[in-house]
Each structure stands twice: as structure tokens, then as C-alpha cells.
Structure 1
Amino acid sequence: MSRRAVDFSLYLITDRRALPPGRRLEDVVRAACAGGVGAVQLREKDLSPRELYPLACRLREVTAAGGAHLLINDRVDLALAVEADGVHLGGQSLPTALARRLLGPEKLIGVSTHHPDEIHAASRDGADFVTFGPVYATPSKAAYGPPQGLDALRAAGRNAPLPVFALGGITAEQVPELRAAGARGIALIRAILGADDARQAARSFREAYRLHP
């Protein structure tokens, strides 16, 4: 199956609760894009569609200006409404194959996975990439159980038919071992959103990724 090329290595997932006091999400995302983030997932599950729509419109402008892709968590309708670059699907989302039919071949689809079998299923159903984790302990993914660790990431990345992005509690110092374990990219939340300088934080991850093939 042909799929869209995944041309980014840093994937920022939004969570307004991780922002430093007084910061606006769109301003922090703008700084992160300037630092090298290549794709942003709008993931604010506590907001209604009416609240999400204007925020998605603002982030569409920010990411377009910053040269980054915008993906909307779960909501295919909202992704189409704001002309986002795609969607990210979780366990309670529409089936990947249905999302692909609705979105067509040009949009990006990411899928959250926690097991190698889920990666192969996502590929079969039309996904372009997956996140896998949590690799390390992190408050944002505590509901998904204990961290899976590098061995699980290595098993997930082995013979994976599409790019695997490591997720969960990642620091720039851990990038070399993640890449050695097969991660094609890095998905981040608090490490960038919660930083004093989101641009510099993104840049440090970008440089770590470049220096450790």
C-alpha cells in the first residue's frame, strides 16, 4: 500500500495543562515550530467541538506559517473543516480504514499503538505512522500502565512496516538510545510545552536527533 511520506522527526502533542502559567498554546506552538517541530497534534480532549474549532483554526495558521503539519486528534470532521494535514487516532476513535476513506489518500493518519500487532494493523488499514509508548514513565500516559521500556520499543520497531515514533517521558539525552532501538521519530508533550523556552527545547531535541543516526 502506498502511503504519504513522513517528512518530520519531532511530533508535538498539545496539552494546555502542561503550559507554564500565563502562556498561550498558539504562542508556544509557534516557538516550537521555529525550533524544529515538524508536526503538531491538537489534542485537547476536554474541549467541546465548538471550543476546539477556533483553536484549531489558530493552530492551522501557526503551523502553516511555521512549515509544520497539523493533525487533529480523533476528529475527522474537524480536520476537514480547518483543512488540517490529517488526524491522529486512538483506541476509541473511528477505525483507521474508515478514516482513510473519509480523508482520502493525501491526508496524514497517525495511530496510537502499544503492541507490535497494533502497528501492523494500523499499516494494513491505511495509517502513515504510529506512536508507541509510553517508553518511559510520564504523568500524561499514566492511565496506559507502566512504561514499556526500550526492549518493547525495539520489538515494535523490528520489521515495522511504517515509521514508529517513541512517546512518553522522553528527554534529549535519551534520543540516542531511542534511535538505536528503532524509533523513526520522537513524540513530545511536556518536554516542549512545559519548557521555559519552547523554541530552544525543540531545537535541543532536533539537534540530538540529527547527531545520532
Structure 2
Amino acid sequence: MKPFYLYAITGDEFHQGRDLIEVMEQAILGGVDIIQLRDKESSRKVVFEKAKRLRELTKKYGVTFIVNDYIDVALAVDADGVHVGQDDMPLSEVRQLVGHDKIIGVSTHKVEEAIEAEKGGADYIGVGPIFPTNSKKDVVDPVTTSYISEVKAAVNIPFVAIGGIKLHNVRQVLEAGATSVCMISEIVGAKDVQATAQKFIGILKRGDTDETFN
């Protein structure tokens, strides 16, 4: 898979009345280089329609597009891959369904899970939640930045830190060893989505200081 820095997950509840595509396009223009469609509330038909629109948007900008959980939807819209959790279908079965050309991401909360995901053929893993977060209803307790260091030492596949990451604490995540970060509300719920994404990219790619944004 292509290297990535800033990973954004959709969250309609944070869009402040704005259209999904409008929000995610602003995120891409700000520097987001991978997008995941996550929607556990809508009907499968609605999720499919969202996925179809996001696939068109991400193709336009050459951004990687991932669908959370719904393998059939991911395949139907020719998404770049799928993301699954610890309680979802076994990784070996997911790979059999999507083939070897698709990306598979796996959420992990323990080093053992990260190692298992790598052995199982995951292309990347999600690491977290690093800090407390209200973006997801099914989160486990925060694992803190120490988990980032442990994962970096234990696996060789790419990983992305997620969970409660904001402009004021993203440096802690990078200092622990992460090079990629993922957000939901902090980006898609921002008043200025593009500007917020640009600030994160400035820190991730150039090491901009917080003073840059005052």
C-alpha cells in the first residue's frame, strides 16, 4: 500500500450539517491521504451509496479508500481495502474474500493482537485508542503512548495511531514512534476542515511547532 500520514474516518454526527462529500473533499485538500468510511448506524443501502460517492471522490484525488467492516460494499464499489476489528471475521477469511490486491487493516489494542495481525497478513494495523475519545461507542480503555513504542518494536507492517489525538497532543504520539495518525471528530468535525488537516500535516511532515498555529 502507498505510504500515508494523515488518516481520516468519516463521522456524520460531527459534520455540523455539512454534506459527507463536502467535508471529506476539504479533508483531502488539507492533506488527508487515506479515508475510511465507517457507518455502523445506517442501512446497508445507505452505506453503499456513501461508499460509491466516496470512491468517486478518492479516485479523483488519488487517495486511498477503505471501508470499515462491510466487505461486500468494499468489493461492490472497488474500494482499495477494508478495515476490521478484533470481533469481526477472521483475517484469513477476509483475505480469501477480498483477494491479495486489496488492503486489509486491523484494529489492535494489545501487542499480541498486533503481532497476530501481522502474521495473519494484515497490510496495516490501527493502534489505540491512545487517549480517551468520544468518537466511538465501542472503544476499549486508552492504551497510552507506551503501546505505540511496544508495537513499533514488535511488528514491521505500517501502523496508524488513533483515539483522542488532537493538535495539542499529537507530538506525544510522534515522539512515541508513530509516523501516521488517524482522527474522526478532530478533522471532520472541525469548523475549518481543510485548515485543520493542514495543521496536522505541517506537524507530521515538517515538524511545525504549535506556535505556528497561534
Does TM-score exceed 0.5, indicating one fold? yes
Residue 110 in 1 paired to residue 105 in 2? yes
1:20-57 CA-partner distances (Å, limit 9, x unpaired): 2x201111001101111111110010011111111110
Q: Distance in 1 between matches of 2:99 and 2:140?
A: 34
1:15 aligned to which of 11, 20, 38? 11
Aligned pairs, number? 208
Q: How does 1:1-12 map to 2 (within 5 A)?
A: 5-12=1-8
Structure 2: any 5+ residue segments left out of the alignment? 209-214
Q: Distance in 2 between matches of 1:192 and 1:161?
A: 28
Q: Which residue of 2 is the match for residue 39 of structure 1?
A: 34
Identity %: 37
SS in 1 for 2:168: helix
Amino acid of the residue matched to residue 161 of structure 1?
N
Deviation, 1:87, is 0.2
Instruction: Report the TM-score, using the length of structure 2 for normalisation.
Output: 0.92
Instruction: Report the TM-score, using the length of structure 1 for normalisation.
Output: 0.92
1:138-187 CA-partner distances (Å, limit 9, x unpaired): 11246433321112222222232211211011112323321221213101
- Contact kept, 8 Å, 1:90 with 1:112, in 2: the verdict is yes
Amino acid of the residue matched to residue 29 of structure 2?
A
Structure 1: any 5+ residue segments left out of the alignment? none
1:78 aligned to which of 60, 69, 73? 73
Q: Distance in 1 between matches of 2:156 and 2:133?
A: 27
The RMSD of aligned alpha carbons is: 1.6
- Contact kept, 8 Å, 2:179 with 2:204, in 1: the verdict is no
1:35-83 CA-partner distances (Å, limit 9, x unpaired): 1111111001001111111111001111111221111101111111000
1:174-208 CA-partner distances (Å, limit 9, x unpaired): 23321221213101101101101111111111111
1:172 aligned to which of 167, 173, 176? 167
- Answer with 174-183 or 107-116: which moved more: 174-183
